[in-house]
Amino acid sequence: MSLPSDVRDAFLIPEGAIYLDTASNAPRTRRVDAALRRAWDEQAAPWRLSFADWEADVEHLRTQASQLFRIDLSPDPDAVAIVPSIAHAMSTVASGWPLQADDVVGIVDGEFPSALLPWQARCIATGARLHAVPRDNATQGFLDLIELGSPSVLVLSNSHWRDGRLLDLDRVAMAAKARGVPVVLDLSQSLGVLPCDVERWTPAFAMSVGYKWWLGHKGHCAFWVSPEWRERLVPLEQHWQGRSPAQAWRFDSEHAPPYRTGARRFDGGEIADPLRLAIASAGLDDVLAWTPRAISTRLGALLERLKQRLADVGIASWCVEPSSPHLLGLAPAHDRVDAVRASFAAAGVVCIERDRVFRLAPHLHIDEADIDRVADAIIAAR
């Protein structure tokens, strides 16, 4: 599918701003802004909002989010829970994972704390061991661990949050599948822009926040749960939204009602917030209309254009490789970091700098003229 010619106008970005930090917070689209304003106005009359409306909004979001986990974008709402965060989803998985002393949990070095900390705590509690694969060659590191280390589970992300370094997730996931090694996927820096194929990879769990690449806001995370794991773990929270009583709002003090069907048992409390639901659903409307494949192709072309400009002046080595189509780490020579920082500030380029690496994360509000201004700012600082 091709993107609309006016896709840049779908974003509320002022003229002259070059915002390259989608990996931290998505730029707001006009659709999201309109949905937020409608939902805010509706809150002025809460007596008009029925429980049935809230339930329908949750199920609509669940259906939308489920499409991003499948390569053909077909819906599978039974597979997805809506929770507040990666920390919530990953803690649910780690706290219930059947680890024993000396078991090995494979993870990339420098993984995001929300994915790392739950497994650290679980390893301490069980005597299991966390094995960190170096991120400068993570694909081969995970393949070696699968072949030689007999890990009990692998915790994988497609694009590293610090510098955009790309993991060959298909290769690693298929190698793990062949050896019977379960995988847990944190796709927060890729879902909505890189294709995802849970039917091919068969992970135990996969998850992604909504405020980055599916153009929403904080407070909602899609938590995909494979069929064989839906009844093996106890949900992190116990609340009315995760249960299915025989009669609405009748909870017997002696016997808890059964959990809801599919992954819904893992839903987080207070997910039926009309404002957050409106924002998340509107963001996904845009992503699903444009499609992750088309978004990835467009952003990949922009960052390739940038890399070619840098190669033309002899500083291709500043680009962290292998890079993701939508995320590029720029690691200047140490004596040029301050100059790049100042040049970006003068040119109005906004991005995150971590460990002297600038993370460039555009979305469809960036065009060729913008990316050329970014290249000019980098070249001026070389």
**Given pLDDT bands bounded at 50, 70 and 90, which one contains residue 265?**
very high
pLDDT in tens, 221-240: 999 999 999 999 999 999 98
How far apart are the two ends of the chain, measured CA to CA in Å? 38
Domain ranges of the chain: 7-28+291-380, 41-290
pLDDT in tens, 268-304: 999 989 999 999 999 999 999 999 999 999 999 999 9
Cα(54)–Cα(59) distance, integer angstroms: 9
Q: How many CB atoms lie within 10 A of CB 9?
A: 12
pLDDT reading at 382 higher than 70: yes
Task: Supply angle C-alpha 133, 179, 132, rounded to 5.
Answer: 10
Q: What's the CATH number of domain 7-28+291-380, 3.90.1150.10, 2.60.40.10, 3.90.850.10, 1.20.1250.20?
A: 3.90.1150.10
What per-residue confidence (pLDDT) applies to 1? 66
**Given pLDDT bands bounded at 50, 70 and 90, which one contains residue 247?**
confident
Closest-CA residue to 193 (of 292, 66, 73): 292
Burial class (CB within 10 angstroms; exposed 0-12, middle 13-18, buried 19+) of 133: buried
Share of the chain above pLDDT 70, in %: 100
Contact of 205 with 184, CB cutoff 8 Å: yes
Cα(199)–Cα(124) distance, integer angstroms: 33
Whole-structure pTM over 0.85, yes or no? yes
Mapped onto helix, strand or coil, the DSSP state of residue 60 is helix
pLDDT in tens, 316-375: 999 999 999 999 999 999 999 999 999 999 999 999 999 999 999 999 999 999 999 999
pLDDT reading at 250 higher than 90: no
Structural element, H or E, at residue 131:
strand 129-133
Q: Are strands 153-156 and 104-108 parallel, antiparallel or unpaired?
A: parallel
pLDDT in tens, 68-78: 999 999 999 99
CATH 3.30.590.20 fits 41-290, yes or no: no
State the chain's mean pLDDT as an integer: 96
Higher pLDDT, 2 or 261: 261
Cα(66)–Cα(80) distance, integer angstroms: 6
pLDDT in tens, 65-119: 999 999 999 999 999 999 999 999 999 999 999 999 999 999 999 999 999 999 9
Structure tokens at 103: 């078991």
Contact of 166 with 187, CB cutoff 8 Å: no
